């Protein structure tokens, strides 16, 4: 029976379904939301289908099928009465139908579900897919083996009950290769949902909240009635919400913006230039002008030889006519109407009040020549090829309520069409339209934020900050080792824990590859330290959930009683394996992406000497409110993204060497004292501190990605 909507909100299943509907409506690849490395697009969704896995069945344009089982929260279990056993049962039943078009069985859940599923099982399945065999299981630690065993026991039980026979290893492998765990924290107000709404801001011209709620409502209705929704049917239903006449506009405009065109976009005016300009002193003299004069000119762009040589434009504001007359350009555009708008609304007061206006029209109008029509097509093609919302002049993201669409046609380049910030437009840039992003005011604080870049990067990383909230301390320190550059060795290290698990030493979220000699040297140091700490009654180990590494007292200080302590028994050397790395690597980028603010191209520094960075751009208003409590007014800023770990490290080095303290998600008291956040330090700072105490700490003697000293 389908799930019904309630006044309190829409349940998890329907929100995920609505997200898949959005992907289908706007022809987006499934790789945007799922782990599958395919370029397929969705052509149909079957809600509460009469299938073994029935929450949602997705049909792709390749005619392949993906099955969803939605569980808002779920725990790992091998009990036949458990939810997880039921999920495994559905997966096996669907597999036994032997449909060759079935490529994936997806367990969709939230991050608050059991880590045994959202982290460990997800890693194990990824490792099996990479190796394409079950041999990888022998390299798992005990905890991961226990997870794998429970999953396999469920599959084996279900198979035996259905087939009255034991499952073969090949059959078991084929089932596991199709199982994926996907995380969707998509409830009201969460970052995932906000990201979806920002995507919609770039796609539709109606109220985003209304459109998103409509998709959810449709998902509820289709689920309750067990209906199938085709791509065309959805497009027909959503047609009134999407831009009118979008089929007449190029892809770039169709996908990203509502465009305000006074004369219609499908007929870009290319024949005439409308230029508002002031003559140079030499030109004034040649024209016998006694008063200060502003010209409103209509100019042919193509001369009698059908070449654009009648006027020369020199950035940023010079124009030279074929007869040698020179002008300072104030504004240039493609239509008479837009030039009048500029005169009425934007002409500088000094000129509007005291300059004499001279209108310089063309002698007569002609039909478009073949050359002019060809130029128009070149401009349309230039716009169609663009797939990023960036200013054609400054190169930064456009995240404003409106911006211009301009043609770049000067001595530097020509035949180029693009978007430009209002403040970045140069007088010689030929304005042909205005781009409107409706309802973006709710996110006006994200100035120049590259939302498309953020959405691509957010899936890859930020592992460094995931466990910070677990820590008992409000202001933990994180160290960065700037000396570790080469990671090309064939060996790695892992700690054997008292419960039989093993924890690999990682660097920025991935298993650290080192030489055999370095591995053996570090192994000896770690084992000596393990023995020494144990003899002192303060053993070395890990916290049970966040896997912070250190002595017992250090870990208790950081996580309190929120986690158990697991002691290290010894450290061992192992050959590096890509298959093992796939299971134990946490992310592609460890620190990034992360945002910061800049003012006039310089990093924004708080009055207390701190450089603030944020892990969630949507929290920026809350942090700005806190910062302003220190008694200063926020300047005009831009939101910038640190895109990769190398960029992050270089910025941290620059700041710290200039005695500026970088802080992540920092909150402060009115006196400027930090009350919450992660303060960043370089390894050499800690090495100097330990040297003062007669201790020698090397970079190799750090683990857990250098967040805690051994």
At 218, is the pLDDT very low, low, confident or very high (cuts 50, 70, 90)?
confident
Answering whether pTM is above 0.85, one says no
Measured CA to CA, the distance from residue 699 to residue 514 in angstroms comes to 13
pLDDT-derived band at 292, boundaries 50, 70, 90: very high
The reported pLDDT for the residue numbered 267 is 64
Using pLDDT thresholds of 50, 70 and 90, give the confidence band for residue 622: very high
Residue 204 has pLDDT above 80, yes or no: no
Is 479's pLDDT higher than 70? Answer: yes
Q: In whole angstroms, what is the distance from residue 540 CA to residue 267 CA?
A: 72
Check whether 562 has a pLDDT greater than 80: no
pLDDT at residue 244, rounded to an integer = 37
Helix, strand, coil percent content, the chain, rounded in steps of 5: 40, 25, 35
Of 562 and 117, more confident: 117
pLDDT digits (tens, 9 = 90+) for 521-546: 999 999 999 999 999 999 999 988 77
Tell me which range, 317-331, 346-360, 488-502, is most confidently predicted by mean pLDDT. Answer: 317-331
Classified as helix, coil or strand, 622 is helix
pLDDT in tens, 607-616: 999 999 999 8
Q: What is the mean pLDDT of residues 97-123?
A: 90
Least confident of 83-87, 211-215, 431-435, 660-664: 431-435
In this predicted model, what pLDDT tens digit does every residue of 321-333 receive, in sequence order? Answer: 988 999 999 999 9
How far apart CA 604 and CA 606 sit, in angstroms, is 7
Contacts of 298 (CB under 8 A, 6+ apart): 272, 273, 274, 336, 360, 361, 362
- Give the range among 114-128, 390-404, 600-614, 631-645 with minimum mean pLDDT: 390-404
Q: What whole-number distance in Å separates Cα of residue 233 and Cα of residue 566?
A: 55
End-to-end CA distance of the chain: 55
Strand ranges, E, within 544-685: 549-551, 565-575, 594-599, 602-603, 610-614, 638-642, 661-668, 674-682
Percentage of the chain modeled with pLDDT above 70:
84
Q: Where are the domains of the chain?
A: 12-238, 258-436, 463-473+485-584, 594-709
Q: Write out the two tokens for 669.
A: 């008291």
Question: Distance (Å, rounded) from C-alpha 606 to C-alpha 608?
Answer: 5
Of 124-128, 147-151, 570-574, the poorest mean pLDDT is in: 124-128
- The pLDDT tens digits of the residues spanning 657-690 come to 899 999 999 999 999 999 989 888 887 776 666 5
Q: Is the dihedral of CA 69, 141, 528, 524 positive or negative?
A: negative
Strands 228-230 and 510-511: unpaired
**Dist CA 534 CA 551 (whole Å):** 9
Least confident of 279-288, 479-488, 618-627: 479-488
Residue for token digits 């069945």? 57
Which token pair is 554? 């250090």
pLDDT at 7: 35
Backbone angles phi, psi at 279, to 5 degrees: -70, 150
Average pLDDT taken over every residue of the chain? 82
Mean of the pLDDT values across residues 382-386?
Answer: 67
Residue 388 has pLDDT above 70, yes or no: no
β strands within 15-119, DSSP E: 42-47, 56-60, 65-70, 102-109
Task: Using alpha carbons only, give the angle 473, 474, 476 rounded to the nearest 5 degrees.
Answer: 70
The per-residue pLDDT for range 64-73, each reduced to its tens digit, is: 999 999 999 9
Comparing 233 with 192, which gets the higher pLDDT?
A: 233
């Amino acid at each position: 029976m389908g799930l019904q909507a309630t006044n309190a909100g829409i349940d998890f299943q329907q929100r995920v379904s609505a997200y898949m509907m959005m992907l289908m409506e706007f022809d987006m690849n499934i790789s945007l939301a799922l782990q599958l490395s395919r370029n397929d697009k969705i052509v149909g969704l079957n809600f509460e289908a009469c299938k073994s896995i029935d929450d949602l069945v997705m049909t792709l344009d390749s005619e392949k099928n993906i099955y969803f089982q939605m569980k808002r929260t779920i725990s790992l279990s091998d009990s036949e009465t458990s939810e997880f056993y039921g999920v495994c049962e559905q997966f096996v039943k669907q597999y036994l139908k032997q449909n060759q078009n079935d490529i994936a069985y997806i367990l969709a859940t939230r991050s608050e579900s059991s880590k045994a599923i959202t982290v460990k099982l997800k890693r194990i399945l990824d490792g099996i897919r990479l190796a394409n065999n079950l041999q990888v299981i022998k390299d798992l630690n005990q905890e991961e083996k226990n997870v794998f065993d429970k999953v396999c026991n469920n599959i084996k039980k279900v198979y035996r009950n259905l087939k009255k026979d034991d499952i073969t290893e090949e059959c078991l492998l084929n089932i596991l290769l199709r199982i994926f765990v996907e995380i969707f924290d998509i409830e009201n107000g969460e970052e995932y949902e906000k990201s979806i709404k920002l995507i919609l801001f770039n796609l539709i011209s109606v109220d985003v909240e209304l459109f998103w709620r409509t998709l959810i409502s449709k998902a509820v209705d289709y689920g309750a009635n067990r209906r199938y929704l085709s791509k065309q049917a959805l497009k027909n239903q959503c047609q009134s919400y999407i831009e009118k006449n979008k089929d007449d506009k190029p892809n770039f405009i169709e996908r990203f913006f509502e465009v305000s065109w006074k004369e219609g976009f499908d007929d870009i005016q290319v024949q005439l230039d409308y230029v508002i300009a002031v003559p140079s002193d030499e030109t004034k003299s040649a024209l016998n002008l006694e008063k200060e004069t502003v010209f409103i000119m209509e100019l042919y762009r193509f001369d009698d030889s059908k070449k654009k040589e009648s006027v020369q434009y020199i950035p940023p504001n010079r124009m030279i006519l074929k007869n040698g007359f020179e002008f300072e350009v104030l504004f240039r555009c493609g239509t008479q109407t837009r030039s009048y708008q500029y005169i009425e609304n934007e002409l500088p007061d000094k000129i509007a009040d005291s300059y004499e206006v001279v209108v310089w029209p063309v002698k007569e109008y002609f039909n478009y020549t073949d050359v002019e029509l060809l130029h128009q097509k070149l401009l349309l093609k230039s716009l169609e090829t663009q797939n990023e919302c960036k200013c054609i002049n400054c190169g930064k993201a456009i995240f404003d309520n409106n911006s211009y669409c301009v043609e770049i046609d000067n001595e530097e380049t020509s035949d180029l069409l693009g978007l430009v910030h209002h403040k970045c437009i140069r007088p010689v840039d030929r304005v042909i339209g205005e781009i409107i992003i409706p309802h973006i005011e709710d996110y006006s604080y994200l100035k120049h934020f590259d939302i498309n870049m953020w959405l691509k990067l957010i899936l890859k990383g930020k592992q460094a900050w995931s466990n910070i909230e677990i820590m008992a301390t409000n202001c933990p320190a994180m160290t960065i080792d700037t000396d570790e550059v080469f990671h090309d060795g064939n060996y790695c290290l892992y700690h054997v824990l008292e419960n039989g698990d093993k924890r690999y030493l990682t660097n920025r979220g991935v298993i650290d590859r080192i030489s055999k000699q370095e591995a053996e040297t570090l192994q000896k140091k770690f084992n000596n330290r393990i023995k020494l700490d144990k003899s002192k009654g303060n053993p070395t180990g890990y916290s049970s959930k966040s896997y912070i590494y250190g002595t017992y007292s250090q870990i208790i200080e950081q996580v309190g009683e929120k986690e158990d302590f697991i002691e290290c028994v010894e450290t061992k050397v192992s050959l590096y394996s890509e298959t093992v790395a796939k299971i134990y690597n946490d992310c592609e980028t460890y620190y990034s992406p992360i945002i910061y603010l800049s003012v006039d191209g310089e990093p924004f520094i708080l009055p207390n000497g701190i450089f603030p960075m944020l892990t969630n751009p949507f929290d920026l208003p809350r942090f700005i409110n806190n910062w302003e409590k220190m008694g200063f007014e926020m300047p005009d800023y831009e939101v910038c993204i640190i895109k990769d770990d190398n960029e992050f490290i270089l910025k941290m080095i620059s700041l710290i060497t200039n005695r500026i303290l970088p802080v992540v998600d920092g909150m402060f008291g009115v006196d400027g004292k930090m009350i919450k956040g992660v303060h960043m330090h370089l390894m050499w700072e800690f090495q100097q501190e330990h040297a003062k105490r007669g201790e020698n700490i090397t970079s190799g003697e750090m683990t857990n990605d250098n967040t805690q000293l051994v």
